[in-house]
Structures are given as C-alpha cells and as structure tokens.
Structure 1
Amino acid sequence: MITLLEALVEGADGTYASKQDLRNLEHAMFSWAERKEAYLAVQTNETSIIDRAMTLMQASKTTPNDNAIDKARIVRCRRDLTLALRYYALGMLLQDEEMLKDRFLYWQKNVLQAMGLHHYHGVQFVFESICTELPKEQANLFKPYFKLGEQTIMSN
C-alpha cells in the first residue's frame, strides 16, 4: 500500500490521479479488513506457526539430519523464521511487494548467499504452517508474497 500510495502521489504530481491508480487504491482499501484479520491471526498464532515450521524443517530432507545441532543454531533459526513471518505478514497487510523486497528479501538473500546456502527452504515451512494454522481464505492472502520470496531468494 505504501508503494501504491507513493505511485499515486508521483503520478498525480500537479495533476489528478489516473483512473487506474484510483481503481488500484480502491481495491486495496476494499480488501483492507480481510488483510487486517489475516495479519492479526498470524500475530495471535505466531508461536504455533513457528513451532510447526521448526518441526517441519527438522523432519524434512532439506535440512541436515544432525542430532548434534546446538541450541544456539536452533535459537537463531527460530529468530530468523519469526522475523520472516513478521515481514511477510506486513507485506501482505500493506499489499506491498516492493516493501517486502526492500526491507527483508534482499537482505535475506545476501545473508543466505554469504552463508553458502543456495537452496534454503525455511520460509517454505513457515508458509506450510500458515496454511495449517489459519483458515484457507486467510492463508491464501500470503501465497503471492511467499512465492515472491522464493523467486527473489533463489534468483541470481
């Protein structure tokens, strides 16, 4: 929504907003209540979403099956997944893919590349958890943002 409002202000500099800009804003305003409810549901269920994501990640074939994973790594992973969940939720609430990319995805991509992780699937487990913990209509609101995240992080 921030990017949408910025585009509207830029496009209407010294003139009136275009009909398309007004339609886009109207659509964003129309879906606000639904997005706000999904955001609040994530906030309320954050612990269970992250717990489920951690369980899915530890049981998956995409993470090392190392019983000696230290508690510090688990704490960091939990913290990172929580941060990701909060940014994805904010991106969905504001209906703002550019904000999500600028404030989180590019940073996460750089961190993962620096760590040598080229096939990281952690946020995939967060999305799976959202799909389990929230009603389908609310979970579906997150789908384009997690898809964007996967595309951004896995791109070169």
Structure 2
Amino acid sequence: MLRQLERLSLETDGRYASAQELEFLKNYLATAEQRISAYEKIRDAEEKILDEVERQLRARNPYIFRKGNQDYSAVCRRDRRHVLRLGAAAMLFADLNALREGFLLWYRTIIKAFRDEKAAQLTYQVLPEVVNQALSSEEAPLMQPVMSLTQSILGE
C-alpha cells in the first residue's frame, strides 16, 4: 500500500491520477476498517495464538523443538512471533512484496541453514488455521494471502 502510494505520487506528479490508477486505493480503503480490526485482534491474541500453535505442534510431534539434547522452544516461539507480527503488518498495509522480500526469503535461508524444513512445514500449516480462528469471517480472507505466501515460502 505505502509503496503503491509512493509510486502513484511519483507517476502523477503534475497531473491528476486516472480512475485506473486510483483503483488500488479505493480497494484498500474499502477494507481498511476490517484490516485494522484484524490487525488488532491478532495483536491482542498473539500469546494465545502462539500457545495454540505450539500445543498443536507438540501434539503432532512432541520432539519438534528438539535437536539432540537441546530444546529450541523459546527460539522457535520468538521466530513464530516475528512471522505473525510481520504478517499482520503486511496484511494491514496490503504489502506482500515487502513481507516476501524483506523477511520471508531471508528467513527461509535461515530455516534451510539449520535444516528445520520439516518443523517449518508443519508450523506454517498450523499457523494459518489458528490465526483464522482469531478472526471474523470478514477478516480472515484479508490475512489469507499473507498466510499462503508464508506457507509457500517457509513451509515448502
């Protein structure tokens, strides 16, 4: 959204924007109230969402956060928190490109470096389900593209 506004500002310098150029802004403004509401719900339910994701992951694999004798639960929770927060911001500002290029591609490299692909795959299957439970039927579709992108990049 912010990048699109900046681009529109530069492209229309000295002239009026066309109806076609304004379409993205109309679409965004039509969903702004739901985006803010969804963002606030995710923010306010963050701990519950993270707890439920962890509960479901442990139910599927009790050792999902262990490597040898090391327990990486806290590190994994921190990382899920970052994914959730950045995803909520991407939904709020309607900016999937910033999420993809600014975080997800980098984080995928980290996941691969630590050979955590299986845990990531399971995590990013569960996270969208839990996030959807925290949102209304009008809000959930706004977060769906973020969750799909996250799952496709981190859960591959």
TM range, smaller chain = 0.7 to 0.9
The aligned runs of 1:1-156 (5 Å cut-off) are 1-60=1-60, 64=64, 70-71=70-71, 73-119=72-118, 120-121=120-121, 122-153=123-154
CA shift in 2, pair 1:41/1:65, >3 Å: closer
Residue 129 of structure 1 deviates from its aligned partner by 1.0
Matches of 1:43 and 1:20, distance apart in 2:
34
Query: TM-score under structure 1 normalisation?
Result: 0.85
Residue 139 of structure 1 deviates from its aligned partner by 2.2
CA shift in 2, pair 1:146/1:65, >3 Å: closer
Matches of 1:12 and 1:104, distance apart in 2:
30
CA shift in 2, pair 1:84/1:13, >3 Å: same
Matches of 2:110 and 2:29, distance apart in 1:
35
CA RMSD, Structure 1 to Structure 2 (Å): 2.5
Tell me the secondary structure at the aligned position of residue 43 of structure 2.
Answer: helix
Question: Is 1:92–1:141's contact at 8 Å kept on the other side of the alignment?
Answer: yes
Matches of 2:112 and 2:2, distance apart in 1:
29
Matches of 1:69 and 1:10, distance apart in 2:
55
Matches of 1:134 and 1:62, distance apart in 2:
28
Query: TM-score under structure 2 normalisation?
Result: 0.85
Report how many residues are paired: 154
Question: Is 1:2–1:94's contact at 8 Å kept on the other side of the alignment?
Answer: yes
Matches of 1:117 and 1:19, distance apart in 2:
47
CA shift in 2, pair 1:88/1:111, >3 Å: same
Tell me the secondary structure at the aligned position of residue 137 of structure 1.
Answer: coil
Matches of 2:69 and 2:130, distance apart in 1:
22
CA shift in 2, pair 1:49/1:154, >3 Å: closer
* Stretches of 4+ aligned residues off by more than 6 angstroms: none
Matches of 2:136 and 2:82, distance apart in 1:
22
**5+ unaligned residues in a row in structure 1: which ranges?**
none
Residue 69 of structure 1 deviates from its aligned partner by 6.4
Matches of 1:62 and 1:10, distance apart in 2:
53
Matches of 2:94 and 2:16, distance apart in 1:
23
Q: Percent identity?
A: 27
Tell me the secondary structure at the aligned position of residue 115 of structure 2.
Answer: coil
